[in-house]
């Protein structure tokens, strides 16, 4: 049925294939890696309120009837205990946003009442030279807006 030279070649071919298959399967190493997913990184954590910022509950914006226009921000909040007092009032403006910071200080080495102390503070805004428009006021974590109806420049 088979011719001897063809049968011999066929057997040699089968041995070589078997040998190649056996050698190659022993040298392969399976490396498993975690599946790659397109998961966005988690958002950065919201920064905590600095320990020296007052806890602001509410702000009211009141314009005084004068020219140039004067605007006061009435801030209500809480101090954490009887040894904590209001310390500094910082004001900055970035574009149409007023950024106010109310900082507190705490007396050390004193016995303090552990009762929350409410406070009310009036802070005048620096409106010198502002154009008419809508402005935002941010005091610590609380935000409100107000509208300036006229340019706030001195008349000559």
| Burial state string for 48-75 with b = 16 or more CB within 10 A and e = fewer than 16 | eeeeebbbbeebebeeeeeeebebebeb
pLDDT at 93 over 70: yes
- Range in 35-49, 61-75, 93-107 the model is least confident about: 35-49
Instruction: Enumerate residues 6+ apart whose C-beta is below 8 A from 89.
Output: 100, 101, 102, 103, 121, 123
Structure letter (DSSP) for residue 48? P
More confident: 24 or 90 = 90
CA distance 108 to 104: 13
What is the tens place of the pLDDT at every residue in 7-60? 666 667 667 666 566 655 554 555 555 565 666 676 665 555 557 899 999 999
pTM score, whole prediction: 0.64
């Amino acid at each position: 049925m088979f011719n001897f030279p063809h049968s011999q070649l066929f057997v040699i071919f089968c041995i070589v294939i078997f040998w190649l298959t056996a050698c190659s399967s022993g040298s392969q190493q399976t490396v498993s890696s975690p599946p790659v997913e397109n998961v966005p990184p988690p958002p950065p954590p919201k920064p905590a309120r600095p320990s020296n910022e007052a806890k602001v509950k509410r702000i009211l914006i009141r314009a005084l009837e004068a020219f140039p226009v004067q605007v006061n921000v009435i801030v209500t909040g809480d101090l954490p205990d009887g040894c904590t007092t209001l310390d500094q009032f910082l004001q900055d403006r970035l574009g149409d946003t007023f950024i106010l910071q109310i900082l507190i200080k705490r007396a050390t080495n004193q016995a303090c009442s552990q009762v929350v102390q409410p406070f009310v503070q009036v802070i005048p805004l620096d409106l010198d030279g502002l154009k008419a428009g809508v402005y935002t006021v941010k005091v610590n974590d609380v935000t409100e807006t107000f509208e300036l109806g006229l340019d706030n420049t001195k008349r000559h």
